[in-house]
Amino acid sequence: MIELRALRKEFSGVVALESIDLSVPAGRIHGIVGRSGAGKSTLIRCLTGLETPTSGTVSIAGEDLTGRSSAALRKARRNIGMVFQHANLLDSRTALENVEHPLQIAGVSRAQRRSKALELLELVGLADRAQNHPAQLSGGQKQRVGIARALAADPQILLCDEPTSALDSRTTRQILELIRDLRDRLGITVLIITHEMSVVREICDSVTLLQNGRVARTGSLAEVVREGTSDLSRELLPLPPHTGTDSASTLEVFLADRPVTDLLAVLTDAPGAEVTAGSIETLAGSRVGRLRLQAPDAAGAEALATALRTAGFGVETLGKDA
């Protein structure tokens, strides 16, 4: 559905994106994560044809967007619905009229666009708010209207740029559940640009980490979280900062589809070792976790690390690897 090949974008000698290869199959929810300046915004603009890549290709549903005329790009963009951090609704129009707006621009008849907009508001759970203006809607309701508007042209792809950053945690969960439900009902492909790892954990099937304009890691969520020791895996399974002074006697252990009792069985033969922090979750259908262990001293930590690796656990000694 989405294919980027050797994508490069340069601005006045400054490289914003370099050697980007990415494939997102139809019907997947894929997350793009990275810190500010990683290249996320430039990637969005290349995907939507707002920026022309310096080199490489961008293909949407089998169509190469690079080198297209303005008219051809406008037509191709109808395959992409955009949801932004702020819904950017027209204050003078009702929720229904906001959803109708892109259809009005496209020349759809009043009766047809009204029928379509009502159907979409029903789909996002706001049929009873059709005649409300944005000032009468909560932040979550505004975002739902924005999602309905993004779906007005029946796009194959829903591109969400920080869709929950301005929302509280409860509303965020509701919006993510809605996006997942829409994917399941409509069969659309969803690309979520976010800096919030909680969004990736909650909804994504696969994820890409951008660092300094390059792909640092990409893969299914299950693959990434099972690695345990990568930067992306650590961010998906965060632990509190290590505040101890003796890192050489501190270990971090990664669990993947293993019961904690297997780890405890190893710890019974390690006198004085204790668990000081831990995170265990079900992500992408897999039970995964990271635990921080404190051994009495560096020699004890080394012996414990050897025993854990022999038992098949991923282990890092903070004094050596962090």
What confidence tens digit (pLDDT) does each residue in 277-305 have?
988 888 777 788 888 998 988 888 999 99
**Average pLDDT of the segment spanning 257-269:** 86
Share of the chain above pLDDT 90, in %: 52
What are the tens digits of pLDDT across the range 80-121?
999 988 889 999 999 999 999 999 998 999 999 999 999 999
- Over residues 55-67, the pLDDT tens digits come to 999 988 788 888 7
Label each residue of the chain as H, E or C: CEEEEEEEEEECCEEEEEEEEEEECCCCEEEEECCCCCCHHHHHHHHCCCCCCCEEEEEECCEECCCCCHHHHHHHHCCEEEECCCCCCCCCCCHHHHHHHHHHHCCCCHHHHHHHHHHHHHHCCCHHHCCCCHHHCCHHHHHHHHHHHHCCCCCCEEEEECCCCCCCHHHHHHHHHHHHHHHHHHCCEEEEEECCHHHHHHHCCEEEEEECCEEEEEEEHHHHHHHCCCHHHHHHCCCCCCCCCCHHHEEEEEEECCCHHHHHHHHCCCCCCEEEEEEEEEECCEEEEEEEEECCCHHHHHHHHHHHHHCCCEEEEHHHHC
Confidence of residue 182 (pLDDT cuts 50, 70, 90): very high
Q: Is the pLDDT of residue 268 over 80?
A: yes
Give the residue, 226 or 210, on which the prediction is more confident.
Answer: 210
